[in-house]
Amino acid sequence: MKKPRKVGPAAPKSKGPSAPALLALAQGHAAAGRWREATASYKDLLKIEDRPQWRGELAAAYAGRARELAAKGMPKEALTLWENRAQVAPELPPDPDYFTLLLRLGQVQAALDLLARTGERLDAATLTALRSHLAALHLAAEPAVAAGLGADDPIRVQGPVATAALDAYCRGDDNALRDALAAIPFRSPYRDLAQVLKALQRAATAPTEASALLERIGDDSGFAPLRRACALALGPAQTLTARLADAGNHTRRFALTLAGWGDERQALWEETRKVAGHGPQPLLRLLHRRRVLLGEDWARRQALRLLAPGFPKSAALIAEGGARRLSAEERLLVAAWHAEDVNNPWEDIEAWSAYAHHLIQTGPGPAGSVGALRVALVLRRVDDQREILAKSAPSQEFDASDRALVDALTLSLEYDPDAPEIYERLVRYYLRGGDLKTARHRLEQGLKRLPKDVGLLTAALDLALAGDAFKKAARYAREVLALDPINTGARERLVKAHLAHARKQIRSARADLARKELEQAAAWDQGGRWHDRRDLLVGLLDLTEDEARGRAALGAQVAALGGGLSATLALALEAVAIGRTPAWALKAVGLGKVKVSDQADLTAFLARLRAHLDGGDGLAAALRLLFDKPLGAAATWPLTPAESESACDTLRRAGLSEARRAFAEAALKRWPGTPVFVLHQFESRRTGPGSYPNRTEMARLEDAMVQAQESGDERTAHRIEQVIMRYAPPGLFGGRSGGFFANPFEDDFDDDDDDEGPDPRPFELRPDDALRAMIEIVGIDQLLKMAGIDAKERAEFKQREREIGRARMIEEIAELMRESLLDFGPGMRPGPAPRINPPKPGPKDKRGGRQAPAPEPPNDDDPEQFELF
């Protein structure tokens, strides 16, 4: 039903805007490039008053709108507006764009008429540019140009020679081209064509010169499209297609041809560029469609690679693209490729194992054949990629991933037994775990097939050294050097082996044998790198046999080493190595009081200590007791920040905590708050199981981490973060006033409270409640992460949680924590995160294994008190 119209008095006719208002509106539109609105406003304005200035502005608005429409691909509509412009302001010179639009629309005669009518109003440069358009059209055999120009017009007169030049270029006749170009006058309407052709002649040999020639052609020239196509072709080949992304069809084809693209390649690119970036399906279709051109096998293999990222869902795409479905082998291979993107070695191991077993079932052929080699490579793939065995020792857990990899590598040797690196990898893996018997077994297998392999012989040398079989080690070293005389590593190992054997003989009171070993060491130590140690051992050996001779020899040697703390270290290290106390040796040479003589001595001591630690040996407890305190006295010497940091780091490695703390604190006095020294100070204070950090220390550490991050010192920030994680979560056991939910690092007591002892305040929250509250806040996974549980084990916890539910999982974690902590009660202090073992896997879960860490060096941290004399 129609709504009744309201009846009332007629509204008064509204008065339109005033001329000034309209003018302002029109000018505003024009300034903003809103040409359609601008033309409408100017037309309204001219209805009020016809002023020449406003006509001129309307003409400008028409021109703007015409260019806008031409750019949108509406040339006819644009032409109408140019005509409007000419009508509204006939006194204005013709716009070049109007002229070129007429030519583009094929209205050559109209363009010529326009030029004849209004050409005298144009400046010379514009006229030249417009005539170059006519020249280009004439060259392209547009008959209307010749018909509209006089016979003596230069465009017609010089047309034949320009045509000759172009034809000569196209057919590759460079002599004819050169002659024709020479005949084109400088002021010819074909001058820009000459520049283009000269540039093309130079493109291959002098691209920079060619580019310079092209740059002489203006954008308003009739030859500008040619120039653009040439310039696009001249750039780097790698970015050619990117440069052509917005180019038109003719420009693309022109540039691609210049760049050496054949017709087939161009056609395929036109086909593929439309499907780029739309996922694998279009490319799969293309590969299938063009498989004959590309080669059936090649196209198929590329198609499989396209499926890997989205496998197994992507498997259906290949059939949708028209190709045949995946075979069993292809499916297993793509699954293995896909598994490599998953950060779980078990996925990898299972996927490649499945593929290997498929290959085995198909009958790969005898060992060493291509098929067998393929099986071996597949079996080795995971460890080759992840380098697990190269870094780990045998795990104690039967279902650990390293064991699966060992099985795979061992099986691979049946298919490819001439792979020395695999034997070596296995030997070193067992060697790292101290399983010398299995290591020897693998070594023998390898050496049986490859007796002259330097890598295997070097592993044999290391294995012999690990078993204290020094004679055997020396024999292997000689074999290595016979094959590779400049193998400094083997030579060094051999010298070290003889020195080690000499020490062993001294310990066994076999002086004659020890001297023989020392002579052997001297013979092999051609560079004299080990002569200091050798001479010290000779002196110590003398000392055991003839005290006076020994004193003299050692005294001379210590003096040759410069005396001081560095020489003391060298002597003490050798004394300990032959089973004597440092005091025995130091007393013999009169080094009663251990002290650093000067800064050079400190530098030499630290360098010697670093070299010793780099050899893989720690510092014996007796030596730590000997040097820890005296070194602290040197901490206040004027070291640079880099020297201080280096000193702290060396002292950390040596376990010289007291000295490290002294150096860190001295550095902090000089450079307060420096993150790396805050870290060294913090760590050096953690010298025993009872040395827990208090909140002030933790807060200071967190500040240091922030400061390190802000200054871009990511390494220190990361190290501090690791330390914080080790001692977190302090809130779990903190019991601070303000409750468990307070920021664990928020300090509400005096900053000056720099108490280094444990926080004396009692807990106010029961540990189980604290744990539950913690889980509520951060979740089970984050809690486990904070407790140092790795991703794989956390996944097991997650699986367990799915099986038994969250509530029971929390109970189990609490129970595990109670078991793991010796003192999980009201007196518990913040300390290193407890080690929580993951729950036992269910019967189907066989991925519970984890890598056994590389064995710790022997703990010689004997807490006995050292007395010098």
Residues 42 to 101: which contact another protein by CB under 8 A? 100
Radius of gyration of the chain (CA): 43
- C-alpha 845/C-alpha 839 separation (Å) is 11
Q: How far is the CB of 82 from another protein (least distance, A)?
A: 16
Binding another protein (rule: CB under 8 A), the pick from 269, 584, 763, 824 is: 269
Binding segment for another protein (CB under 8 A), chosen from 45-53, 280-288, 454-462, 687-695, is: 280-288
- C-alpha 675/C-alpha 653 separation (Å) is 19
Question: What is the maximum span of the chain, computed from C-alpha positions, in angstroms?
Answer: 137
Size of the site for another protein (CB under 8 A): 71
The phi, psi pair for 465, rounded to 5°, reads: -60, -40
Binding another protein (rule: CB under 8 A), the pick from 381, 503, 652, 850 is: 381
Q: How far is the CB of 168 from another protein (least distance, A)?
A: 10
Closer by beta carbon to another protein, 166 or else 813: 166
Binding another protein (rule: CB under 8 A), the pick from 24, 182, 276, 633 is: 276
Which of 576, 566, 565 has its CA nearest to residue 619?
Answer: 576
Binding another protein (rule: CB under 8 A), the pick from 194, 326, 378, 521 is: 378
- Strands (DSSP E) contained in 95-252 are none
CA angle 87, 89, 94 (to 5 degrees): 85
Closer by beta carbon to another protein, 55 or else 138: 138
Closer by beta carbon to another protein, 243 or else 551: 243
Q: How far is the CB of 75 from another protein (least distance, A)?
A: 11
Is residue 815 within a helix (H) or strand (E), and if so which, with residue range? helix 806-820
Which residue type sits at 634?
A
Binding segment for another protein (CB under 8 A), chosen from 66-74, 130-138, 579-587, 618-626, is: 130-138
Closer by beta carbon to another protein, 93 or else 262: 262
- C-alpha 814/C-alpha 835 separation (Å) is 13
Residues 650-669 that bind another protein (CB under 8 A): none
Residue in the block written with tokens 């028409």: 62
User: 29 Cβ partners below 8 Å, 6+ apart?
Assistant: 35, 37, 38, 41, 61
858 cis-preceded (ω within 30 degrees of 0): no
Closer by beta carbon to another protein, 198 or else 608: 198
Residues 228-267 that bind another protein (CB under 8 A): 229, 237, 241, 247-251, 253-254, 257-265
x-or-dash string of contact with another protein, 281-320, rule CB under 8 A: --x--xx--x--xxx-xx--xx--xx-xx-----------
Binding segment for another protein (CB under 8 A), chosen from 119-127, 272-280, 534-542, 650-658, is: 272-280
Binding segment for another protein (CB under 8 A), chosen from 110-118, 268-276, 550-558, 849-857, is: 268-276
x-or-dash string of contact with another protein, 147-166, rule CB under 8 A: -------------------x
Closer by beta carbon to another protein, 142 or else 519: 142
Half-sphere exposure of 557 (CA within 13 A, CB side): 28
Which residue type sits at 589?
V
Q: How far is the CB of 229 from another protein (least distance, A)?
A: 6
Q: How far is the CB of 334 from another protein (least distance, A)?
A: 8
User: 630 Cβ partners below 8 Å, 6+ apart?
Assistant: 565, 594, 595, 596
Neighbours of 586 (CB within 10 A): 22
Closer by beta carbon to another protein, 330 or else 574: 330
Residue in the block written with tokens 């291979």: 333
Under a CB-based contact definition with an 8 Å cutoff, are residues 381 and 352 in contact? yes
- C-alpha 255/C-alpha 242 separation (Å) is 12
Closer by beta carbon to another protein, 137 or else 456: 137
Under a CB-based contact definition with an 8 Å cutoff, are residues 734 and 761 in contact? no
**Cα–Cα distances in angstroms (integers) from residue 853 to residues 156, 218, 392, 397, in the given order:** 89, 72, 6, 12
Closer by beta carbon to another protein, 133 or else 661: 133
x-or-dash string of contact with another protein, 319-338, rule CB under 8 A: --------------x---x-
Binding segment for another protein (CB under 8 A), chosen from 115-123, 368-376, 499-507, 852-860, is: 368-376
Closer by beta carbon to another protein, 99 or else 530: 99
Residue 428 tokens, joined: 């070193």
